[in-house]
Structure 1
Amino acid sequence: MLFLRNSLTILLPLPAWVLASDFRVKESTEPPRGWTRLAEAPSAHTISLRIALPQADFAELERRIYQVSDPGHELYGQHLSKEQVEALVSPRPTSLEAVNAWLKDHGFEEKDFDRSAAKDWVNINVPVALAEKMLGTKYHTWRHDESGDRLVRTTSYSLPAHLHEHIELIQPTTMFARWSAMKTTIHWPELVEDSSPSFAGSASGNRLAIKVASTDVDPSCNQTITISCLKQLYKIGDYVPKSPRKTSIGITGYLEEFANLADLQSFYNDQVKPAVNSSFKFVSVKGGLNNQTLSEAGAEANLDVQFAFGLSFPIPGTFWSTAGRPPFIPDLTTPTNTNEPYLDWVDFVLRQKEVPHSISTSYGEPEQTVPRKYAERVCHELAQLAARGVSLMYSSGDGGVGDGSEDPADHLCFTNDGKNTHRFMPTFPATCPFVTAVGGTNDVPETAVFFSGGGFSDYFKRPFYQDRAVGKFLENTPSDLYQGLYNRAGRGFPDVAAQGRRFRIWWRGRAVSIGGTSASAPVFAAIVALLNDVRVSKGLPPLGFLNPLLYLIGPLGFNDITQGNNPGCGTPGFNATVGWDPITGLGTPDFSKLKALVSGH
């Protein structure tokens, strides 16, 4: 490298990354549908680069996950510790050294890094001009045509050739997922004022009593879903947790969604009187706020907290509020998180020694809007929690097999790869094979709700635990049905289901009716929390990663849902059938049966 000083030419050593090789493309993508490129990104704008280093032995971690999650294995329930997980995913020393040297060449010191607990992620705040130099690229401001949201992104970036084996991916670069409008999978048309006096269990009108599996269910439950309805429908009855302080349940919150305490007390007074005056643990992630102004209460957060914590009371609950969302504001030069905030939550939770045993998330995004490498890496992060004995529930989505549109010309039902292929839209992170995806039902007796997200992943192959159940569904499904619209070899979702319409919650001081698989996931998470109590009260470990167990017991613990379909992308979607189907999975839970099944291992 040549520098001129006082008319003298001084020869300085070239940085190692320059000597090693020229830049080579690491990742590229087609300009996404629905986005318009505007101007070059301001050079002084600061972005938060997240650099992923290859995990040394993820294959071994995956093997261990399935050992401790298989009821037939001698290691069942022997979940890994935080330290054991980190030892398996920590990058190799050569990768750490190579990335450290590269960052040092660009002026960064150790004090500038924010590393994950396992050191497999490095986060740095970088001006756009320097990021462009480091990545051999050009950033632009992009506008989402429909919403007006703006992001700073590029469609391609490069790295010195010798770094390719030491860096798995870097974001934000090519990811155009609209986490800024991350669908809460809440079915907003259901949001109507509920003027009924109370639905704590009393019948209303002259409707006939309903029988489900020989258990009377209050007729009001066909109009409004309450805690009492769920206890009747899923045979929880009067079960009271025996060791509530030995297990736990958690709810994630994003996009300035706050769970309002006043609304929670109104809900408890309405439906769970023993819980009145109780609360939950609030945890802020990356500066997540907790605005308790009643007029700013979040419907999503209220729904999740009220039903998850109300159904599992008195098991302790935790609510995380994670900050960070676009749109990008061009005149800001302070660090702006134009990553999706979801990974911030994962990173935070993985750093904790103790994590709630059952966690529900009601957020998702079309799989194709997330780069494959990024989706795979996020799934690997979730696998670390699974290995530690955490059950992760995710809403399957509210768009049926696509975006909920019956118009085949809808742009959301076409691929983003430049080919514009008509395609069903699976939902991420529900498609990750290390989580339990929860679809929706409605009515009593239960049928599949029309908006229940479901289908097959384009990114993740079918895991072995699904081979029998999903294989049987595909055997009974003509291969030419929707040919080319979905991946028959992909991970099928959802895994299970629960009620997803007409939930009576309290929101901003009033009772309203609301729906979506946003309701289904926290309900199932609450039932898992109760099952964990069954186990820990007998000296057994919590259930942890659920899917191998769920697919093993199948109809022994679930109510099979055989009616309904999930239209989208100009098609009627899939049909609910006997056995697993890509609308309601294995069906809805029968707590009385599940309780017996999980209490002896």
Structure 2
Amino acid sequence: MRFSVGIVSFIPCLFGLTFVGAVPTKDCAYAVKESIAEPHGWTKDSQPSPNHKIELKIALPQPNFAELERHLYEVSNPDHERYGEHLSKEEVEELVAPHPESLNMVNEWLSSFGFKDEDLARSPAKDWITLKVPVSIAEKMLDTKYHVWKHVESGDYLVRTTSYSLPTNLHAHIDLIQPTTMFGRFKSEKSSIFSAVPIPDSLVQANNAIGTIEAASGVSVDASCNQTITITCLQELYNAVGFKPSAKGNSIGITGYLEEFANFQDLQTFYADQRPDALNSTFNVISVAGGLNNQSLDEAGGEANLDTQFAFGLSHPISPTFFTTAGRPPFIPEEGGSEDTNEPYTVWLDFILSHPNPPLAISTSYGDDEQTVPFSFAQRACAGFAQLGARGVSLLFSSGDGGVGDGDSNPATQTCISNDGKNTTKFLPAFPASCPFVTAVGATTHIPEVAVSRFFSGGGFSNYFTRPAFQDKVVSAYLKALPKGTFAGLFNLNGRAYPDVAAQGDLFKVFVGGEAFLIGGTSASSPTFAGFVALLNDVRLKAGRPSLGFLNPFIYSKGFAGLNDITVGHNSGCGTLGFNATKGWDPVTGFGTPNFGKLRELVLSL
């Protein structure tokens, strides 16, 4: 801790009080605001250029968030009289606005470093402030030292610190500042085990074979679906054949990151192959912070094409939007380099919270390992998801592709080491899937469906978020049935459990760069489930009802009756077979996969 020099340092810096003789914020003593252990798997590489630009994001407290959470659960609980009475953008912003005193204190601090109001970007609720500064200034503001860190396994680089400080009288007025202690490696959940491979001619010939197979739900599915998943396969498997949405007032969105571009020409090829009635239709593209969507076939993204082709193919003609967000956190350090190293996810979250009409169902197939995301940051991002849920938006996230472990590691040598400096072995949950305000989607394969095992369908228990009340009954039952001592000490018995649901996640026929590929991962599961949520919203809207919004209270109280229970499979990782799929909810496939026919009746009964 350092103290300012001179007689003024002996005058107390009282939290939020201003009086004659009080110490200006800039002269207050600094104290550590946040500190982490040196992150596992990273090494200090070098010093960043003093001119390297960092986009600091400052989060101010949301003193009325508990009130917003109350509203969220009331409008999302099918048994509550307010079910479906979603809040407006303005009502949500009023509930998350910081106290004026916090605004004044932070403004005073920033002005002491020469920043003017025009240098600052504020969120609509004024709960976030963003400003771009050179590293040299950030180090003075935060009384810290940044380094270039290298990720040993991948070779990625980040500019980060393991500790930062603030004036003592600001601690109550700032929740967090990033990028500082965040060492996440934001990635798509497209499985590296079931990677994209061209479809061989032998498989094309086999898929021409005639025949059907019986799914566990009792529906008949074309036999070819055990080798290649198409739109028709999903419609048959999930009991949606013949349903035609009207699209009026409905919408669906896909998020894109890390320079993954969704190709229009590939979409037309996909539609010609699997959804001919959608030919010549396309999707809206919204650029976030300058995000691109280059249309060269050489730059077509496997992740982006998978997500858009299946989500929009399933939900056609519901209004589709692809959000392309700029930013790629790892950078290559070079002399005088000034690349931005921010996490792009929060850039999208800021944007969508300011959007007057976000899509009613949004799928994201990207995530981090929970332990690489500071707890304070995870809390605030999760609070952002709650705001969207309160506005009637359903958020679907892939549950991850590492089973109970780290999807980045080679499954054969997966060590699952804690990131707290103790280097203990434990299961590694994923974020944002672990946030209780989103719906996490696991993966199944084959017909009849089983969980995708072998280090694939991510699932487990959060170390950050406690188990929400809507999960208590089913999760407690699952844990009670586990043999005593199973995985003792490897997971948090009281944590938010995930996934909530599942969908097919392997062998998806996707067109990339003009060629057909088979792609797998929970990256496929999330846009698939989102497509069916969009269809359910269509059912609701046609009947004059509001959108489904935050799904979990519905799923855990009534919706599970419209899901196909998956009872075979497991999610290996960390040198174990992981958790087992079993009757009822489980941390591999949640409550199971959608039966649209049943869910359609359930959502109409609400």
Q: What's the TM-score, normalizing by structure 1?
A: 0.94
Alignment correspondent of 2:579? 574
**Contact (CA 8 Å) 1:125, 1:335: kept in 2 or not?**
no
CA deviations 1:185-228 (Å, max 9, x no partner) are: 3345342211459989x963366633443321111111111100
Q: What amino acid is aligned across from residue 167 of structure 2 in structure 1?
A: P
SS in 2 for 1:593: helix
Alignment correspondent of 1:328? 331
Work out the CA distance in 1 between the residues paired with 2:331 and 2:443: 34
SS in 2 for 1:62: helix
Alignment correspondent of 2:12? none
Task: Indicate which of 531, 535, 538 corresponds to 1:526.
Answer: 531
Work out the CA distance in 1 between the residues paired with 2:564 and 2:172: 48
Matches within 5 A, 1:501-540: 501-540=506-545
Alignment correspondent of 1:164? 171
**Contact (CA 8 Å) 2:401, 2:522: kept in 1 or not?**
yes
**Structure 1 residues 14 and 304: CA distance shift in structure 2, 3 A:** same
**Structure 1 residues 322 and 393: CA distance shift in structure 2, 3 A:** same
**Structure 1 residues 435 and 128: CA distance shift in structure 2, 3 A:** same
CA deviations 1:306-331 (Å, max 9, x no partner) are: 00000001101000010111333444
Work out the CA distance in 2 between the residues paired with 1:461 and 1:62: 15
**Contact (CA 8 Å) 1:307, 1:523: kept in 2 or not?**
yes
Matches within 5 A, 1:404-419: 410-411=414-415, 413-419=416-422
Matches within 5 A, 1:531-550: 531-550=536-555
Work out the CA distance in 2 between the residues paired with 1:149 and 1:537: 49
**Contact (CA 8 Å) 2:571, 2:588: kept in 1 or not?**
yes
SS in 2 for 1:364: strand
**Structure 1 residues 332 and 169: CA distance shift in structure 2, 3 A:** farther
Task: Indicate which of 205, 208, 212 corresponds to 1:204.
Answer: 208
Work out the CA distance in 2 between the residues paired with 1:323 and 1:584: 32
The reply on whether 1:149 has 2:156 as its aligned counterpart is yes
Alignment correspondent of 2:252? 249
Task: Indicate which of 217, 232, 248 corresponds to 1:228.
Answer: 232
CA deviations 1:158-180 (Å, max 9, x no partner) are: 0010000000000111111112x
Q: What amino acid is aligned across from residue 152 of structure 2 in structure 1?
A: D
**Contact (CA 8 Å) 2:212, 2:220: kept in 1 or not?**
no
**Structure 1 residues 196 and 83: CA distance shift in structure 2, 3 A:** farther
Q: What amino acid is aligned across from residue 24 of structure 2 in structure 1?
A: A
CA deviations 1:506-546 (Å, max 9, x no partner) are: 11101111111000000000000000000000110000000
Identity %: 57
**Structure 1 residues 49 and 221: CA distance shift in structure 2, 3 A:** same
**Contact (CA 8 Å) 1:408, 1:569: kept in 2 or not?**
no
Task: Indicate which of 401, 406, 416 corresponds to 1:398.
Answer: 401
The reply on whether 1:432 has 2:435 as its aligned counterpart is yes
Work out the CA distance in 2 between the residues paired with 1:446 and 1:23: 57
Alignment correspondent of 2:58? 51
SS in 2 for 1:189: coil
SS in 2 for 1:143: strand
**Contact (CA 8 Å) 1:199, 1:224: kept in 2 or not?**
no
The reply on whether 1:16 has 2:24 as its aligned counterpart is yes
SS in 2 for 1:475: helix
Q: What amino acid is aligned across from residue 56 of structure 1 in structure 2?
A: P
Cα shift at 1:41: 2.4
Work out the CA distance in 1 between the residues paired with 2:560 and 2:129: 45
Deviates more, 1:190-199 or 1:120-129: 190-199
Task: Indicate which of 318, 322, 337 corresponds to 1:319.
Answer: 322
Task: Indicate which of 488, 496, 499 corresponds to 1:494.
Answer: 499
Task: Indicate which of 485, 488, 494 corresponds to 2:490.
Answer: 485
Task: Indicate which of 292, 298, 301 corresponds to 2:301.
Answer: 298
Matches within 5 A, 1:338-349: 338-349=341-352
**Contact (CA 8 Å) 1:439, 1:494: kept in 2 or not?**
yes
Q: What amino acid is aligned across from residue 427 of structure 1 in structure 2?
A: A
Alignment correspondent of 2:83? 76
Work out the CA distance in 2 between the residues paired with 1:18 and 1:321: 39
**Structure 1 residues 211 and 101: CA distance shift in structure 2, 3 A:** closer
Task: Indicate which of 96, 101, 106 corresponds to 1:94.
Answer: 101
Work out the CA distance in 1 between the residues paired with 2:362 and 2:139: 38
CA deviations 1:384-432 (Å, max 9, x no partner) are: 1111000000000111110356879634x01011101101010100000
Alignment correspondent of 1:476? 481
Alignment correspondent of 1:588? 593
Alignment correspondent of 1:109? 116
Work out the CA distance in 1 between the residues paired with 2:344 and 2:202: 39
Task: Indicate which of 364, 387, 392 corresponds to 1:389.
Answer: 392
**Structure 1 residues 208 and 247: CA distance shift in structure 2, 3 A:** closer
**Contact (CA 8 Å) 1:190, 1:502: kept in 2 or not?**
no
Structure 1 unpaired stretches of 5+: 4-12
Q: What is the aligned residue count?
A: 586
Task: Indicate which of 214, 221, 233 corresponds to 1:217.
Answer: 221
SS in 1 for 2:308: helix
Deviates more, 1:210-219 or 1:354-363: 210-219
Alignment correspondent of 2:15? none
Q: What amino acid is aligned across from residue 287 of structure 1 in structure 2?
A: G
Alignment correspondent of 2:137? 130
Alignment correspondent of 1:599? 604
**Contact (CA 8 Å) 1:188, 1:514: kept in 2 or not?**
no
SS in 1 for 2:535: helix
Work out the CA distance in 1 between the residues paired with 2:58 and 2:529: 34
Q: What's the TM-score, normalizing by structure 2?
A: 0.93
Work out the CA distance in 2 between the residues paired with 1:169 and 1:259: 34
SS in 1 for 2:140: helix
The reply on whether 1:239 has 2:243 as its aligned counterpart is yes
Work out the CA distance in 2 between the residues paired with 1:176 and 1:555: 36
**Contact (CA 8 Å) 1:462, 1:490: kept in 2 or not?**
yes
Work out the CA distance in 2 between the residues paired with 1:479 and 1:173: 41
SS in 1 for 2:440: strand
**Contact (CA 8 Å) 2:207, 2:227: kept in 1 or not?**
no
CA deviations 1:325-355 (Å, max 9, x no partner) are: 1333444768633121000000011111000
Work out the CA distance in 1 between the residues paired with 2:492 and 2:142: 34
Work out the CA distance in 1 between the residues paired with 2:78 and 2:26: 53
SS in 2 for 1:506: strand
CA deviations 1:439-498 (Å, max 9, x no partner) are: 000000000001100000000000011011111101111341000000010000000000
Cα shift at 1:554: 4.7
**Contact (CA 8 Å) 2:361, 2:393: kept in 1 or not?**
yes
Q: What amino acid is aligned across from residue 124 of structure 1 in structure 2?
A: L
Alignment correspondent of 2:9? none
Cα shift at 1:551: 0.5
Work out the CA distance in 2 between the residues paired with 1:132 and 1:123: 16
The reply on whether 1:284 has 2:284 as its aligned counterpart is no
**Contact (CA 8 Å) 2:211, 2:222: kept in 1 or not?**
no
**Contact (CA 8 Å) 2:53, 2:340: kept in 1 or not?**
no
SS in 1 for 2:366: coil
Alignment correspondent of 2:17? none
Work out the CA distance in 1 between the residues paired with 2:335 and 2:556: 50
